C-alpha cells in the first residue's frame, strides 16, 4: 500500500502541471473539461485522507515531499496571492484605468473609464457627469427633441469637439427642429454598459430618441464572467500587460497632427487582424458566443427603450478600406464576408422593428475620394465624422 501515495503524487503533479500550462497559456474562458478537471483533482487530493491505509502512508511521507520544488511552488502561490490582494485593494482606492478589474462589470468599467468632470478633452470641458458635452438638464425645454446617444471611443473621437459626429449631428438636426443630442460616450464601453447607463442614469431624462451606436470592431463581444480560473482575471497578470501596452505605444507629438498615425504598422495590423475574425465565413465558437450574448443584451435594450430606439452601425476600417482588407486577408479574401456583421445586425433590427442605419455604404463611397479614418488609429478623421453626421441627420429627420 505504501507505493500508492507516491504513484498518486506523480499523477497529481502531472495533472497540476498540465492544468497550470493550460491556465497560463490559454487564458480564454475555461472549458467544462478544464473546470471539471480542477474539481476532480481537488477530490483526488482528498482521497488519501479518507482511506485509512493511504492516510497513514500519506502522513509518513508528507515531510519528505516538502522538498525545494514543492516549497518554491508554495511560496510562488503565496507571492501571487499577496500581489493580487495588494492590487485589488489599490483598485478600490484609485480610479486609474490601469487598475480596472479585468472582469469589471458595467458599473466598475464605467466608473474607471468615465471622464473626470471639468477636465478638458478634445477642446471641450467635460460636464459634471464626466461626458464630453454641455451640462445636462433633467427638465427638457418645450419644443426641443432630446436624443440620448450611446457610444464608445467613437463618441469621444480623435478630432476636436466641434468636429465630432455627435456635435455635428446636434447642429444638423437643429436646422429642422430644436434638438438636444446628449453625448453619452465613454471609451472602452459596449452594449452591456449602455444598458447599465440607461437603467441607472439616462432613463430619468426621458429622451425622445435613444441612438445606440454599435461599432462592429469591438462591440460584438461576450463579457467575460469573473472567475479565478481565468489567468487574465487576475490583476497580477493584467497590470503588467497594460503597462507593456502603454510603454509600446508611440508618444504623442507636442502638437499632434489630425492626420498623424497613432500606432506603428505592426500594432495597428495586430488590432485589425483580431477584429476581422468577426467576418469569417466559418466562425469559431468564441465568435458565435459573442453574437449570442450581444444580441441578447441588445434585446434587453430594445425591450426597455422602444419605440424610441434607433441603431446606427459603425463599420471598422477594414470594411471601408479595400487596401487594408487585402493586407489583412493576405490572399484569403474568400474566407471572409466583410458585410456579414451589418447584415446580422440589420436583420435583428428588422425582426425587432427597430429602425437601423448602416453607415458602411456612405463611408465606403466617401473613401473613394479621400480617407475617412485617421491613419493607423481605427477612428474616424474629420472627414469620416462629417460623413457619419450627415447620414445620421438625414436618416433621423425622416423619422
**358 preceded by a cis bond (ω within 30 of 0):** no
Cα separation of 389 and 304, whole Å?
A: 26
**Angle, CA 377 vertex, CA 382 and CA 166 arms, to 5°:** 40
pLDDT band at 298; cut points 50, 70, 90: very high
Residue 131 has pLDDT above 80, yes or no: yes
- Say what the pTM is: 0.73
Question: C-alpha 32: how far from its chain's center?
Answer: 24
Predicted pLDDT of residue 106: 78
What is the percentage of the chain residues whose pLDDT exceeds 90?
Answer: 58
Q: Give residue-wise pLDDT tens across range 189-213.
A: 999 999 999 998 999 999 999 999 9
pLDDT band at 7; cut points 50, 70, 90: low
Grouping H, G, I as helix, E, B as strand and the rest as coil, residue 314 is: strand
Mean pLDDT (whole number) for 360-381? 96
Predicted pLDDT of residue 2: 46
Q: Give residue-wise pLDDT tens across range 305-337.
A: 989 999 999 999 999 999 999 999 999 999 999
Cα separation of 367 and 197, whole Å?
A: 34
Predicted pLDDT of residue 171: 95
- For 163, the grid coordinates are 468636429
Q: Could you tell me if 345 and 290 are in contact, meaning their C-beta atoms sit under 8 angstroms apart?
A: no
pLDDT band at 64; cut points 50, 70, 90: low
In sequence order, what are the beta bridge partners of 314? 215
In a 13 Å sphere around the CA of 280, the CA atoms on its Cβ side amount to 15
Q: Where are the domains positioned within the chain?
A: 3-97, 102-230+261-397
- pLDDT, the chain, mean: 83
By the 10 Å C-beta count (0-12 exposed, 13-18 middle, 19+ buried), 165 is classed as buried
Neighbouring CB atoms inside 10 A of 33's CB total 9
Q: Which residue has the cell 425622445?
A: 208
Residue 128 has pLDDT above 50, yes or no: yes
Greater model confidence, 33 or 172:
172
Q: Could you tell me if 235 and 173 are in contact, meaning their C-beta atoms sit under 8 angstroms apart?
A: no
Predicted pLDDT of residue 239: 78
Domain range 102-230+261-397, its CATH number among 3.30.1360.10, 3.40.50.1110, 3.30.460.80, 3.30.210.10: 3.40.50.1110
Amino acid at each position: 500500500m505504501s507505493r500508492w501515495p507516491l504513484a498518486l503524487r506523480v499523477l497529481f503533479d502531472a495533472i497540476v502541471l498540465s492544468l497550470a500550462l493550460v491556465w497560463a497559456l490559454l487564458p480564454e474562458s475555461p472549458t467544462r473539461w478544464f473546470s471539471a478537471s480542477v474539481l476532480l483533482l481537488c477530490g483526488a487530493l482528498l482521497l488519501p485522507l479518507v482511506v485509512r491505509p493511504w492516510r497513514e502512508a500519506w502522513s509518513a511521507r508528507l515531510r519528505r515531499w516538502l522538498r525545494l520544488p514543492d516549497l518554491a511552488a508554495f511560496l510562488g502561490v503565496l507571492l501571487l496571492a499577496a500581489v493580487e490582494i495588494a492590487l485589488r485593494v489599490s483598485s478600490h482606492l484609485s480610479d486609474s484605468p490601469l487598475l480596472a478589474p479585468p472582469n469589471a462589470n458595467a458599473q466598475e468599467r464605467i466608473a474607471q473609464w468615465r471622464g473626470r468632470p471639468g477636465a478638458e478633452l478634445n477642446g471641450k470641458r467635460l460636464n459634471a457627469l464626466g461626458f464630453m458635452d454641455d451640462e445636462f438638464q433633467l427638465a427638457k425645454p418645450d419644443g426641443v427633441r432630446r436624443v440620448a446617444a450611446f457610444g464608445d471611443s467613437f463618441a469621444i473621437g480623435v478630432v476636436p469637439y466641434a468636429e465630432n459626429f455627435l456635435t455635428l449631428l446636434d447642429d444638423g438636426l437643429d436646422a429642422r427642429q430644436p434638438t438636444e443630442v446628449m453625448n453619452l460616450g465613454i471609451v472602452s464601453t459596449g452594449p452591456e454598459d449602455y444598458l447599465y447607463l440607461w437603467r441607472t442614469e439616462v432613463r430619468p431624462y426621458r429622451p425622445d430618441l435613444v441612438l445606440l451606436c454599435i461599432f462592429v470592431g469591438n462591440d460584438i463581444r461576450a463579457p467575460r464572467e469573473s472567475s479565478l480560473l481565468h489567468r487574465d482575471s487576475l490583476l497580477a497578470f493584467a497590470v503588467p500587460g497594460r503597462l507593456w501596452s502603454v510603454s509600446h505605444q508611440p508618444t504623442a507629438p507636442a502638437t499632434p497632427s489630425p492626420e498623424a498615425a497613432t500606432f506603428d504598422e505592426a500594432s495597428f495590423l495586430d488590432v485589425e487582424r483580431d477584429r476581422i475574425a468577426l467576418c469569417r465565413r466559418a466562425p469559431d465558437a468564441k465568435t458565435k458566443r459573442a453574437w449570442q450574448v450581444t444580441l441578447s443584451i441588445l434585446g434587453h435594450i430594445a425591450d426597455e427603450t422602444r419605440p424610441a430606439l434607433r441603431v446606427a452601425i459603425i463599420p471598422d476600417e477594414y470594411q471601408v478600406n479595400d487596401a487594408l482588407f487585402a493586407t489583412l486577408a493576405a490572399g484569403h479574401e474568400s474566407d471572409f464576408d466583410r458585410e456579414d456583421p451589418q447584415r446580422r445586425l440589420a436583420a435583428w433590427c428588422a425582426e425587432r422593428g427597430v429602425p437601423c442605419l448602416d453607415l458602411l455604404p456612405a463611408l465606403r463611397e466617401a473613401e473613394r475620394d479621400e480617407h475617412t479614418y485617421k491613419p493607423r488609429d481605427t477612428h474616424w478623421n474629420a472627414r469620416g465624422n462629417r460623413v457619419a453626421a450627415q447620414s445620421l441627420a438625414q436618416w433621423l429627420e425622416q423619422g
